[in-house]
Amino acid sequence: MKLRLILGDQLSLSTSSLSDVASDDLILMCEVRQEATYVKYHKKKIAFVFSAMRHFARELRDRGLQVRYVTYDDPNNSGSLLGEIKKAINLHQCDELVLARPGEHRLQSEFDVLADDLSVPVVMREDDRFLCSTDDFVRWAVGRKQLRMEYFYREMRRKYSILMDAEEPIGGQWNYDAENRKPPTNGMDIPETYKSDPDGITQDVIALVETYFPDHFGDLFPFHFAVTRDQALAALDEFIARRLRLFGDYQDVMIEGEPWMYHSHIALYLNCGLLNPLECISRAEAAYHDGTAPLNAVEGFIRQILGWREYVRGIYWLKMPDYKAANFLEAERALPEFYWTGDTMMNCMRQCITETKQNAYAHHIQRLMVLGNFALLVGLDPDEVNEWYLLVYADAYEWVELPSVLGMILFADGGLLASKPYAASGSYINKMSNYCGSCTYKPTVKNGPKACPFNYLYWDFVARNDVKLRGNPRMGFMYKSLDRMNDEKRQAIQDDSGRFFNALQANEKV
């Protein structure tokens, strides 16, 4: 009898570890302390993963397969994957362990040495739930001076023949971003996100999370994530029918009290195996062909999945484990307390943190241009920022979180992923959101106690990192502007930033 391990983010019938499953094999799934408390995950994430695991186990059993499912509150739960694997092998006399490669480097390293510790052979198969294998990504990367997502994306479009007209991109352009990113307008009619009704399995899991993880970050209620493949498909269909058409136009817009906007909210389902990337892409492409959504929206959405998602995963496996220690800008400031509480006078930060706490979700621009931008400008310690992003979002796994944080927001990899830091002053947030209207600070004021902190912190960031960033061709304009500033202006920036940093250090409300 073979033992087939299914991890909490491998909930797919087509996963490689099940490709040749037989009815006399044993499938092992376990809720373990090792995984659930690796970082203090958002309560909603734990409830989501456990409920999705339990529903997947039920589906496997319904198909006549044997499942050994270890619940978190099982008194004999050893707390570790290895402990549960050993127990299952001994109890059921299994003669081989089969698994798909884990998505995170720490687990893959653990499994690489597992073979020495087990009495049976270990067969680790490729994780084939991605559209670009790690080997193919290495082949793409080798010999290139720059690893830019845009060129990777074009190859993926050709390879999978997505939005292609023979050899040319449909519409004549690869990328329609110029038509996207409109500012907010009044009276936008934003559809609700998908909401499931928690069934008995989910209610049990919610009670379990309340009992065992009371000190973890985030609100457990209301809980309405999809937890089965059918529900995840319904969530995808709802997005395609109701929100995709405006996804491109308002991709970067942030509105108070509207956490979901026109985004898809499917990353958590894709990342745990409930949805597969090609079906999401195909449904979006079909929506273009049948006239449900315009090209700028469909191309923009497909680029995120076929381009960005595959690309960041490729970068992760190309560069790990050294990548994790990257800190090009030598940032070392501690994460402010308000990242946990939202207790800050900066309304944009308060909104994004509060929504993160409520929903285990924030959309891309909130993660990048508000929360991430602040972390970059004040120079937060990459390890602390990584831990925060890994634990607060329901879709977070290290393979996507780490390059997003180190490469995209903190420029900690020195420009491997982004050609320049995504640094912005308050005017960007003011243009793309309605946050500034009810803020204590004023986005148009550059210095002094009323000034938006992003304004002076932006220039302090540019000045502080002169040695490291002046040579970057895409930063030339910023350094010319800095050089044109008179001494008085420079002093005001330094004074305001110094005062702000002192207040942060003293844990005063900023």
- For the sheet with 26-30, list strands across it: 66-70, 26-30, 2-5, 96-100, 122-125
Is omega for the bond preceding 222 within 30 degrees of 0, making it cis?
Answer: yes
- Residues of this chain that interact with ligand DLZ (CB under 6 A) are 7-9, 30-32, 35-36, 41, 46, 49, 102-104, 107, 397
Spatial separation of the C-alpha atoms in residues 161 and 382, rounded to whole Å: 38
Task: Give min distance, CB of 271 to ligand FAD, in A.
Answer: 5
Give the residue, chosen from 452, 457, 493, 504, that forms a contact with ligand SF4 under the rule CB under 6 A: 452
Interior/surface letters 26-56, b for 16+ CB within 10 angstroms, e for the rest: bbbbbbbebbbeebbbbbbbbbbbbbbbbbb
Give the residue, chosen from 430, 434, 465, 497, that forms a contact with ligand SF4 under the rule CB under 6 A: 430
Residue 270 binds which entry of ligand DLZ, ligand SF4, ligand FAD, none, CB below 5-8 Å type-dependent: ligand FAD
Q: Would you give the binding string for ligand FAD spanning residues 320-359, x where CB under 6 A is met?
A: ----------------------------------------
State yes or no: residue 458 binds ligand SF4 (CB under 6 A).
no
**Interaction residues for ligand SF4, span 316-355 (CB under 6 A):** 346-348
> What is the maximum span of the chain, computed from C-alpha positions, in angstroms?
78
Tokens of 398: 């290290």
Give the residue, chosen from 454, 456, 459, 461, that forms a contact with ligand SF4 under the rule CB under 6 A: 454
Instruction: Give whichever of 418 and 429 is closer to ligand SF4, judged by the CB atom.
Output: 429
Residue 300 binds which entry of ligand DLZ, ligand SF4, ligand FAD, none, CB below 5-8 Å type-dependent: none
Strands 26-30 and 168-169: unpaired
Angle between helices 476-484 and 453-464 (to 10 degrees): 100
Residue 306 binds which entry of ligand SF4, ligand FAD, ligand DLZ, none, CB below 5-8 Å type-dependent: none
Task: Give min distance, CB of 9 to ligand DLZ, in A.
Answer: 4
Task: Give min distance, CB of 329 to ligand SF4, in A.
Answer: 22
- Pair 112, 65: CB distance under 8 Å: no
- Pair 462, 405: CB distance under 8 Å: no
State yes or no: residue 429 binds ligand SF4 (CB under 6 A).
yes
Instruction: Give whichever of 114 and 170 is closer to ligand DLZ, judged by the CB atom.
Output: 114
Task: Give min distance, CB of 293 to ligand FAD, in A.
Answer: 13
Give the residue, chosen from 6, 376, 408, 462, that forms a contact with ligand FAD under the rule CB under 6 A: 408
Spatial separation of the C-alpha atoms in residues 240 and 263, rounded to whole Å: 10
- Pair 292, 284: CB distance under 8 Å: no
Spatial separation of the C-alpha atoms in residues 270 and 7, rounded to whole Å: 14
What is the CA 432 to chain-centroid distance, rounded?
Answer: 21
Task: Give min distance, CB of 107 to ligand DLZ, in A.
Answer: 5
List interacting residues with ligand FAD (CB under 6 A).
263-267, 270-271, 301, 304-305, 308-309, 312, 363-364, 367-368, 372, 389, 393, 395-396, 400-401, 404-405, 408-409
